Chain A
Amino acid sequence: MKKKYSIFSLVKNAFSYHENWEKAWKDPVPKKEYDTVIIGGGGHGLATAYYLAKKHNLKNIAVLEKGWIGGGNTGRNTTIIRSNYLWDASAGLYDHALKIWEGLSQELNYNVMFSQRGVMNLAHNLQDVRDLKRRTHANRLNGIDAVYLNTEEVKKFCPIINTSPDIRYPVLGGTLQKRAGTARHDAVAWGYARGADELGVDIIQNCEVKGIKRNGDRVEGIETTKGFIKTNKIGVVAAGHSSVIANMAGLRLPLESKPLQALVSEPVKPIIDTVVMSNAVHAYVSQSDKGELVIGAGTDDYVSYSQKGSHDIVEGTLNAILELYPIFSRMRMLRQWGGIVDICPDASPIISKTSIKGLYFNCGWGTGGFKATPGSGDLFAHTIANDEPHKLNAAFNLNRFVSGDLVDEHGAAAVAH
């Protein structure tokens, strides 16, 4: 049993200069065999392992991570959480996650710094206005809080936005989801890792998967850099590298992996207390608790695993940011980075069984997976434990690309693909 984090443990550890904190998770040597192995130790993978152990009572679970916990896309995203998606299936999926977020810090006894500061999506042309109004209505029919704001209301909610009618893409309005917001991305991975470790999950870092061993139509084990691991259930949550793992198993996925960039500025005093996203000009910005502006750019249009994006993508985003927020014109950027995102043709994820028995995929989250972390883990755990999807992720099966029953969320994905 781990010691509970509290104000008392904080004070107690302060007296020993914070040098005696117990390790949040162990560093075990992999066993020869596991009942279930999760490939990918990001937020989604760790959440999957956590819920497998917690809600489905499975024992003997391992999470394999090729790098370190929190070093992949979990630590590279812009931490935005919202559920204002258009279609019923997506609304169910993302709002399920949002509801778990609301109690996550308490459940994990780990402060994930979930902040419901609201997310505003801006409209810059007549079609945007129509689309966003439609989406607001759809959201409300699905029980998701959403309001449409006119230009004055946008200005009132976020005064630093330039709402002048003579800018290149004037702000004609926007939507607001007040329950939406941000969370501390590293804390989500660390909190789930600590929680899963406490429930007996082996979190194995620096362990790269090199091959999937199949016996006919079922899986038998995994070749890794730390030796062969026998298992008959594998959940793959490898984000940008999903296709690489799928190729090892002889499976093809409808994914393309592309660099997605983000950048942060030098820290400044509080200036923007919400999250503002703009689909049309492609700029989104929020402010971290450290004071940095967190800015998201778009994806490059070519397949790449290099974790580097093109400069012109960043330049385009910063042009848009400066037109919308002239106040930021002399801000200096501190860091810029890329992450590799796995994009589905319909901009919706895949949480699904496959044609191979015992092999499950949770992928295709593309540019917006962070917001779904708790819900994705919960539903993927259900899918693995019961060998059939939960009703909330039934629509997100791999077979939709055969049946044609796609869930087109390009409008709500808010990042240009």
Chain B
Amino acid sequence: MFLISCPFCGEREQSEFKAGGEAHIVRPKQPTELSDDEWAEYLFMRKNIKGIQYERWNHIHGCRKWFNIIRDTSNDQIKAVYKMGEKPPVK
């Protein structure tokens, strides 16, 4: 259980949000030209980091907007929150 600062609504309980997994996975521009290995890499393989992870969240029981957070997955502490399309802040 932890609190998340939605960049649009402010600090709310984590239960108001939906986790969207690892951030900054870029959808391939030409999916038809990918090999099966590359497609599997894009679709299934994850860093699943223990430590500082960049991830997407959606304030699903609030403004319903997507944004990014940087979180330490070993203790659930949030290091930074930034909007979609923004460059991650340098720690």
Residue positions of A touching B, CB distance < 8 A:
241, 243-244, 247, 252-257, 300-306, 308-312, 345, 401-404
Contact = CB atoms under 8 A, between A and B. Distances in A.
A306 B76 contact: yes
Main SS at interface, chain A: loop
A305 B50 contact: yes
A309 B76 CA distance: 10
Contact of B1 (A252, A311, A403): A311
Given A303-B55, A310-B1, A403-B36, A256 B74 contact: no
Contacts of A308: 1, 76
Given A302-B14, A310-B1, 19 more contacts: A243-B47, A243-B48, A247-B47, A252-B41, A252-B45, A252-B46, A254-B40, A256-B48, A257-B50, A301-B18, A302-B19, A303-B53, A305-B73, A306-B73, A306-B75, A308-B1, A310-B14, A312-B15, A402-B40
Contacts of B21: 256, 303
B14 to A, nearest CB: 6
Interface in B69-84: 73-76
A241 B36 CA distance: 27
A301 B18 CA distance: 7
Contacts, number: 71
Nearest to A241: B50
Nearest to B44: A254
Nearest to B15: A312
Contacts of A252: 41, 45-47
B37 interface: yes
B1 A304 contact: no
Interface string B26-46: 000000000011011101111
B19 A244 contact: no
Interface residues of B, number: 26
A301 B20 CA distance: 8
Contacts of B15: 310, 312
Nearest to B13: A312
Nearest to B19: A302
Contacts of B45: 252-254, 401
A300 B71 CA distance: 15
A255 B22 CA distance: 11
Main SS at interface, chain B: mixed
A303 B39 CA distance: 22
Instruction: Output the residue of A253, A257, A303, A305 with the most chain B CB within 10 A.
Output: A303
Contacts of A310: 1, 14-15
Given A310-B1, A310-B14, A303 B48 contact: yes
Contacts of A300: 19
B43 to A, nearest CB: 8
Contacts of A303: 19, 21-22, 48-49, 53, 55, 73
Contacts of B18: 301
A93 B1 CA distance: 36
A256 to B, nearest CB: 6
17 contacts: A243-B49, A244-B50, A247-B47, A247-B49, A252-B47, A255-B48, A256-B46, A257-B73, A301-B19, A303-B48, A303-B53, A303-B55, A312-B15, A345-B44, A401-B45, A402-B36, A402-B37
A310 B76 CA distance: 11
What 9 A-B pairs come out closest when comparing CB atoms? A302-B19, A243-B48, A254-B44, A252-B45, A312-B15, A402-B40, A401-B44, A305-B50, A301-B19
A243 B46 contact: yes
A22 B36 CA distance: 55
Nearest to B36: A402
Instruction: Output the residue of A241, A252, A304 with the most chain B CB within 10 A.
Output: A304
Given A306-B75, A311-B1, A312-B15, A257 B40 contact: no
Nearest to B77: A306
A248 B50 CA distance: 12
A257 B76 CA distance: 13
A305 B74 contact: yes
A345 B43 CA distance: 10
A417 to B, nearest CB: 12
A403 B39 CA distance: 10
A123 to B, nearest CB: 27
A302 B16 CA distance: 13
Contacts of A253: 45-46, 48
Contacts of B47: 243, 247, 252
A402 B48 CA distance: 19
Contacts of A402: 36-37, 39-40
